[in-house]
Structure 1
Amino acid sequence: MQKGNGGLIAIIVILVAVIAFMLGRGDTELPFLSGDEDAAETDGANETEETTAQAEPAPPPTPARRAVRVGLDGPGSTACRSGALVANLPMTGGDNDFLAVREAPSSRATQVDKLGQGHPIIICDQNDAGTWIGIVYTNDNSLFRGRDRCGVMDRVPATRAYDGQCQSGWVYAKYVQVAG
């Protein structure tokens, strides 16, 4: 009878040692005690994939949409600052002869439109560095003809996001020329 008890005691000692070892490693779950048979029977493949995925640098995140603001010149000022044109594009004669309009002031932001050389725009906002301009524009080049259908000449009581009927977005300042 003692031989049988010796074997049982040896198994208990080994189990206690394994549990103590796993708790010492910082594992919060012991798969063989959780009732999760799939977790207890891993072959290490998932662990290798996760380690590899974590080792590779993640691509920079796409900047979140940033609304173009109007009324930056203070209470009672016009919504936007001045008229301008798309200018100085590197005209190569290819498919890249346009200025990208983006959702935020960043080249990683989602492109929402394309504007060609000479396209009229209204300057309303800019980023802190002054490298990106928040604009309002129309797709039919009618911005400077007739009435102010975009509401950019309206007086505004405070700074706010542009919410008019025209398009808005961000363009790289290098390719904007203030209209004289």
Structure 2
Amino acid sequence: MRSILLATFLLAGCNFATVESNVQTPDAQETPEALAPSARGVRVGEGGPGFAACQSQARVDGPQAGAGAVPMLDAPFDGAAMVVALPQGAALRVCTRTIDQRWLGVVVPREGVDCGVDARLDRPRTYAGPCASGWIAANAVRLTG
């Protein structure tokens, strides 16, 4: 009897009424900028404090042998803005990747410049170093170490 009474009180406290929202979602044609991909910084230090900020080395190796330059974008989307066109064989440091593994967040080392990607970081953060960073399609990269 007690359990039936308790269940009755619990159900009485539930409100099954439908809540209507007066928030209107804009039409895609009204706000095309809302649908455009925005720049997304490359995260470094995702391996934790026991590892370098960017753990892998790679080279640009386009999807087809002999292909021209490969674009490095400011976000992991096909429609994102190009940061720089990387030539075949360009060295990269791979710092992160998208969940679907299609895009790699990379830093492009420069001769004589410490990009800061070998440092061990106490927590992950967005790369803000002196070297160029961005996103490159994973099928345009060959990991080297």
TM, length-normalised to structure 2: 0.71
Residue 110 of structure 1 is aligned with which of 77, 81, 84? 81
Is the helix fraction higher in 1 or 2?
1
Residue 60 of structure 2 is aligned with which of 76, 86, 96? 86
What residue ranges of structure 1 are gaps of 5+ in the alignment?
A: 1-53
Residue 160 (structure 1) aligned with residue 125 (structure 2)? yes
Following superposition, the deviation at residue 62 of structure 1 comes to 2.2
Residue 133 (structure 1) aligned with residue 104 (structure 2)? yes
What residue ranges of structure 2 are gaps of 5+ in the alignment?
A: 1-26
SS of the residue corresponding to residue 171 of structure 1 reads strand
Percentage of pairs with the same residue: 36
Following superposition, the deviation at residue 173 of structure 1 comes to 0.2
Following superposition, the deviation at residue 158 of structure 1 comes to 0.3
Structure 1 residues 91, 151: CA separation in 2 closer, same or farther (over 3 Å shift)?
same
Residue number in structure 2 paired with 1:23 = none
Q: Deviations over 1:84-130 (max 9, x none)?
A: 0001343567xxx1111101001111111100110000000111101
**Structure 1 runs, 4 residues or longer, greater than 4 Å off:** 54-60
Following superposition, the deviation at residue 163 of structure 1 comes to 1.0
- Write the distance in 1 (CA, Å) between the matches of 2:121 and 2:28: 50
SS of the residue corresponding to residue 108 of structure 1 reads coil
Residue 170 (structure 1) aligned with residue 135 (structure 2)? yes
**Contact 1:69 / 1:160 at 8 angstroms: preserved in 2?**
yes
SS of the residue corresponding to residue 36 of structure 2 reads coil
Residue number in structure 1 paired with 2:70 = 99
- Let me know the Cα RMSD of the aligned residues: 2.5
- Write the distance in 2 (CA, Å) between the matches of 1:129 and 1:59: 25
Count how many residue pairs are aligned between Structure 1 and Structure 2.
118
Residue number in structure 1 paired with 2:40 = 66
TM, length-normalised to structure 1: 0.58
